[in-house]
Amino acid sequence: MKEPTVRVQKIRRDSVKMRLIIFGTLAVLLLLGAIFSKYLTPYDPYLQDLRNAKAAPSAAHLLGTDRYGRDMLSRVIVGSWTSIFSTLLLVAVITALGTAIGVFCGWHGGRTDTVLMRISDIFLAFPGLVFALAVAGVLGGGLHNAIIALAAISWPKYARIARSQTLALKETAYLKAARLAGSSTVKIIFKHILPNIMGPVLVTSMLDIGTMMMELAGLSFLGLGAKPPIAEWGSMMSDTRSLLSTAPWVTLSPGIAVFVSVMIFNLLGDTIRDYADPKNRRR
């Protein structure tokens, strides 16, 4: 009975590795496309040609043109820079901020831990996007303010994970030995704690990329994110939603770009989570 079980585990591991290669390659291609987006556009994404406004998809304009005659394929391609890297910046900020707060609270404890965790409870009690709308509205909109608004309400998840992992490590024998050996708090955190808690934190951040991309596009769609004429997928959908019945390609093109990007990052995040699962790494 043991041999079939081993064979099933091997098949599962090989399947996870194959999915990791496929989705990792797609994510890398997406990032490379965003990095070199300025060189991949067939037309100037900001060049207006009113004589060719709202042209249907054709050989000359594969995704058609918008109300100002701008090539939609070029705008979707160049919009990947703003949409994708704004999302990655947001995820990096909330990962670093939440992890730092969580490690600090878990290591030091006391009144500061209690206050910060109660604040995180308040943030977690509200629907994330609704809270972000309120914060972005107070800040006045704009892409930078949208990132700040989402960062302000998204860090508690990472703080909770980092805090729980730090509390568990804090009581281990080797950390107690390191403290008895005279290691400083900074050395213990950077040499022993962070390397051991980054696995769950990084998996969570990978799974969060798709969610943050949707929420950032949602804020832009509601007018609280990127502002026209900046090519950003959520803003492009918002600016053209009135044309959905007459020129649907104008609105659907950035929408499909958001869908494909979110799907790739979500599938990559799920695969990384499966790969990090000890059950799939048994020999």
pLDDT in tens, 197-243: 888 898 889 889 988 999 898 888 888 888 877 888 988 888 888 88
Q: For every residue of 28-91, which 3-state class applies, written as one string?
A: HHHHHHHHCHHHHCCCCCCCCCHHHCCCCCCCCCCCCECCCCCEHHHHHHHHHHHHHHHHHHHH
Please give the pLDDT value at position 34.
93
Return averaged pLDDT per consecutive 10 residues of the chain, 283 residues in all.
61 82 94 93 90 90 90 93 93 94 89 89 82 84 87 90 88 79 81 86 89 89 82 88 87 92 91 75 52
The radius of gyration of the chain's CA atoms, rounded to the nearest angstrom, is 23
Please give the pLDDT value at position 1.
46
Model confidence over 154-177: pLDDT tens digits? 999 999 999 998 888 887 887 778
Please give the pLDDT value at position 78.
93
The whole-model pTM stands at: 0.87
Domain 2-280, what architecture? Orthogonal Bundle (1.10)
Nearest to 247 by CA among 97, 27, 65, 87: 65
